[in-house]
């Protein structure tokens, strides 16, 4: 029986330390870990809850090891926060699920990811990056535009004011985002069409779509954007609709091209919105997607397309293990000796 370590950030742990609701929006609830662990146990894996990167560090230095780590830790600080746990696991030559540190860092920096999509010939809205207030007047995009923090998830920094109609709104929104999030602002051409999310499992040529949903904002929702509030209260404010028409199929093909082009692994999702001509454009890619069975987009996609939660977890593990010699532990040397007696 393979031993699976679970790495994650529990939201309540950070709330108890004084962090705010929005600051902790990407972190997990206890029932997410309960559901994940239950699925893995049902698939005949042995599980070990590790928790956040600080717990992982302590466990590694104590000599603990696992056959593979199921990693959903988002990290707290920096542009490479999602890559921190995978980087540490690679330093100890330990297998883990989902994408590597390069992909996780690139995808979190939405501007860098869009440069790669553009180079690959994948449709993505034109954009500028605003790093300071004095750059706002040099924006080269036409209005309406859309502004958001360059490296946040779960809709953080996005609300009804994110759709920008003129220079005054641009300045007001960009200055607020620069001051609040202390990172550049991504300003894109606003896409007025339908919004899709594509779920993907697998790696490289084995990657495949598990389905497409259309995100429809209800009348009571914040309009113009799948915002932080809309995501936090999705059960009340959003309708998720299975999408299989020609526009949705085009979104699916575009998402797979982006997934393979960026080098994403195992499972995740791609968010797209159509332009005025009905052409789906990549907005962003999420190779470390939420996996709450009822609240996260990837499991919602699977559910609407008839894929049980346990099957999603099985597919993730199957993809990850196939990259590590069919489940054999990749650790071939005792790196603990080097850690305790570093080479100088």
pLDDT category at 340 given cuts 50, 70, 90 is low
pLDDT mean across residues, the chain: 93
Among 11-25, 44-58, 129-143, top mean pLDDT goes to 44-58
Residue with tokens 């590597």: 100
pLDDT digits (tens, 9 = 90+) for 148-157: 999 998 889 9
Q: How far apart are CA 59 and CA 49, in angstroms?
A: 11
pLDDT digits (tens, 9 = 90+) for 171-217: 999 999 999 999 999 999 999 999 999 999 999 999 999 999 999 99
DSSP string, 159-173: SGGGEE-SHHHHHHH
Return contacts of 81-89, CB within 8 angstroms, 24+ apart: 81/108, 82/107, 82/108, 82/288, 83/108, 84/53, 85/7, 85/53, 85/56, 88/53, 88/56, 88/57, 88/60, 89/56
User: In the prediction, which pLDDT does 302 show?
Assistant: 98
pLDDT digits (tens, 9 = 90+) for 82-105: 999 999 999 999 999 999 999 999
Integer-rounded Cα Rg, in Å, for the chain is 20
User: In the prediction, which pLDDT does 342 show?
Assistant: 47
- Is 73's pLDDT higher than 50? yes
User: In the prediction, which pLDDT does 333 show?
Assistant: 44
The answer to whether 283 and 125 have CB atoms below 8 angstroms apart is yes
pLDDT category at 23 given cuts 50, 70, 90 is confident
Domains observed in the chain = 3-98 (3.40.50.20), 126-189 (3.30.1490.20), 195-322 (3.30.470.20)
């Amino acid at each position: 029986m393979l031993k699976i370590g679970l790495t994650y950030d529990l939201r309540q742990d950070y709330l108890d330390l004084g962090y705010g609701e929005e600051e902790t929006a990407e972190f997990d609830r206890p029932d997410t870990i309960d559901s994940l662990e239950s699925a893995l146990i049902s698939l005949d894996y042995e599980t070990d809850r590790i928790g956040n990167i600080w717990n992982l560090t302590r466990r590694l230095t104590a000599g603990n090891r696992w056959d593979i780590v199921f990693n959903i830790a988002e990290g707290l600080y920096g542009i490479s926060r999602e890559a921190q746990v995978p980087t540490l696991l690679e330093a100890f030559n330990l297998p883990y699920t989902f994408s590597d540190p390069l992909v996780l860092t690139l995808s979190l920096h939405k501007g860098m990811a869009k440069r790669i999509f553009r180079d690959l010939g994948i449709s993505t809205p034109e954009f500028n990056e605003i790093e300071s207030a004095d750059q706002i007047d040099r924006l080269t995009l036409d209005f309406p535009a859309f502004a958001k923090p360059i490296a946040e998830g779960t809709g953080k920094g996005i609300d009804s004011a994110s759709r920008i109609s003129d220079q005054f709104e641009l300045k007001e929104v960009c200055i607020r985002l620069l001051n609040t999030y202390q990172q550049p602002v991504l300003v894109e051409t606003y896409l007025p069409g339908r919004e899709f999310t594509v779920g993907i499992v697998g790696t490289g040529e084995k990657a495949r779509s598990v389905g497409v949903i259309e995100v429809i904002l209800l009348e009571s929702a914040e309009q113009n954007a799948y915002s932080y509030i809309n995501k936090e209260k999705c059960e009340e404010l959003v309708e998720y609709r299975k999408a299989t028409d020609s526009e949705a199929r085009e979104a699916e093909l575009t998402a797979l091209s982006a997934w393979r082009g960026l080098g994403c692994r195992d499972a995740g999702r791609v968010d797209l919105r159509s332009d005025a001509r009905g052409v789906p454009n990549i907005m962003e890619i999420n190779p470390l997607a939420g996996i709450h069975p009822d609240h996260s987009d990837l499991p919602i996609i699977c559910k609407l397309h008839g894929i049980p939660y346990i099957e999603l977890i099985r597919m993730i593990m199957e993809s990850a293990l196939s990259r590590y010699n069919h489940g054999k532990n990749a650790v071939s040397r005792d790196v603990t000796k080097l850690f305790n007696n570093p080479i100088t």
